[in-house]
Amino acid sequence: MRLLGFVMTGAAIGAAFIVSPALAEEKDETGWYGTAGIGFLSPNNPSGDECLIVTGLKSCLDYEYTFDTALSGEIGVGYDFGKFRVETTYTRSNTSLSKVSGDVSVGSTEATLTDKVNSGNANFNSFLLNGYIDIDTKSKFVPYIGGGIGYTYVNFPSYTMSALGTSVKSGKGSSGAFGYQAKAGLSYLASEKVDIFGEAIFSGVTGFAINNVDVGLINSWGARAGLRYRF
């Protein structure tokens, strides 16, 4: 999946460089546009913790989650003020929980957890308000930087942990948290109406709770390629 994302991003940027780097045609300095892109995100391994009563003793479980590389798509609408753009976007990233590991303490006894992922599919749905600065190069190639903040809704899979002869199952669940992203990219002004872009992404979601488990910060690095269409 990560290789697919690199190929797609590289193909879009490469296609732009094949076209003659002549000076950009005159285009409207301001106006509305739509944007759509697809690529990948690679999440870190977040932690989680949970305390519960097992056979009359307080048990505390410390988790570490491992996710596969996510296929990530983004759509939105924006307004170009000339050298500054504002966008509202919806991003969905589909991944899988491949492994859960960690430790458990029951009273004064500690043990290593063994895991079973019951339903691995997970996804992150983000609604963000973004701002970008376009750097004028007097050519068809326009670097940009920016980022956004908003709300991320997480769908988390279920898993079963076993230790000391006891199994604890965490059911799948959903939760919302604060979401954010930062980007650096390059646009190619393919025509008066169409921009082609490739971008590097850092995104994340703050901690959230799923079925009494407190899950820590999830950060991701990735890349995306896409188009903007000016109305």
CA torsion through residues 54, 60, 62, 65, sign: positive
Is the predicted pLDDT of residue 37 greater than 90, yes or no?
A: yes
Q: How far apart are CA 114 and CA 161, in angstroms?
A: 6
User: How many C-beta neighbours within 10 Å does residue 177 have?
Assistant: 19
Evaluate if residue 12 carries a pLDDT over 70.
no
DSSP secondary structure of 85-108: EEEEEEEEEEEEEEEEEEEEEETT
Domain 2-230 maps to which CATH number in 3.40.50.720, 2.40.160.20, 1.10.390.10, 3.30.70.1450? Answer: 2.40.160.20
Which H helix or E strand runs over 145? strand 141-156
b/e 108-145 (16+ beta carbons within 10 angstroms → b): eeeeebebebeebebbbbbebebebebeeeeebbbebe
pTM (two decimals): 0.78
Residues 13, 17, 19, 23: what is their CA dihedral angle, to the nearest 10 degrees?
110
pLDDT digits (tens, 9 = 90+) for 139-197: 999 999 999 999 999 998 888 777 666 666 777 889 999 999 999 999 999 999 999 99
**Confidence band of 42 (pLDDT split at 50, 70, 90):** very high
- Could you tell me which residue, 70 or 118, shows the higher pLDDT? 70
Q: Where are the domains of the chain?
A: 2-230
pLDDT digits (tens, 9 = 90+) for 78-104: 999 988 999 999 999 999 988 888 777
Using the structure block, give the residue that is written with the tokens 């870190």: 44
Question: What percent of the chain has pLDDT above 90?
Answer: 53
Residue 80 to residue 36: CA distance in whole angstroms: 15
